[in-house]
Amino acid sequence: MPTMRVDKWLWFVRVFKTRTLATEYCRKGRVTRNGIEVKPSQDINVGDTLKVRKPPVTYTFRVKDLPKNRLGAKLVESYMENLTPPEELQKLDPSFMAFNIHRERGTGRPTKKERREIDELFDSGFGGFDWDSFEPDADDESNE
C-alpha cells in the first residue's frame, strides 16, 4: 500500500502554501492523524483522517488518494474530503469574530484602522438585520 509523508500531502493538496509551513505546523503539534499528533516525516495512508489546527479553526480532512505532485485547486477534491463541521467554519465569519473581540485591560483605545473595521462591521447591520425598521411586538410593550 503506497504511503506519503504527512507534510508533503498537506502541501500537495493546498492546505498550506509552502511545505515549510506544513512542516512547522506538524512540529508544533497542530496536526493529528487519527487522533495522534504526527511528525512531518510520518507516513499517511488512504483513509486516514487528519486534523489541522489553524486558529481559530480546526480543519478535518480524510485522505482519498495520494497525489504524485502539487495539485491545481480544481483537482484537490479528488484527493481529499473536507469533513470540517460548519460550526468550525463559522468561526471565520467576520460577524462571529466581532462578538469575540475583547481588548485586554489597559491596552488603550483602538487604532484608526481598528476603529474603521469596527464601524464597518456595525454599519453592515450584523449580517443583514435592519435595526432601523425593527418594531417590537405588541406583547413586548404590554409586559413593561
Model pLDDT for residues 66-112, shown as the tens digit of each residue: 999 999 999 999 999 999 999 988 888 776 666 666 666 657 787 88
Query: Please, are residues 84 and 56 in contact by the beta-carbon 8 Å criterion?
Result: no
If residue 44 lies in a helix (H) or strand (E), which one and from where to where? strand 43-44
Residue spans per domain, the chain = 4-84, 93-124
Check whether domain 4-84 has CATH 3.10.290.10, yes or no: yes
Handedness of CA 95, 32, 73, 63 (dihedral sign): negative
| pLDDT for the residue numbered 112 | 87
Reported confidence tier of residue 122, pLDDT bands at 50, 70, 90: confident
- The Cα–Cα gap between 80 and 90 comes to 21
- The Cα–Cα gap between 13 and 24 comes to 16
**pTM of the model as a whole:** 0.66
CA 37 vs. chain centroid, Å, equals 19
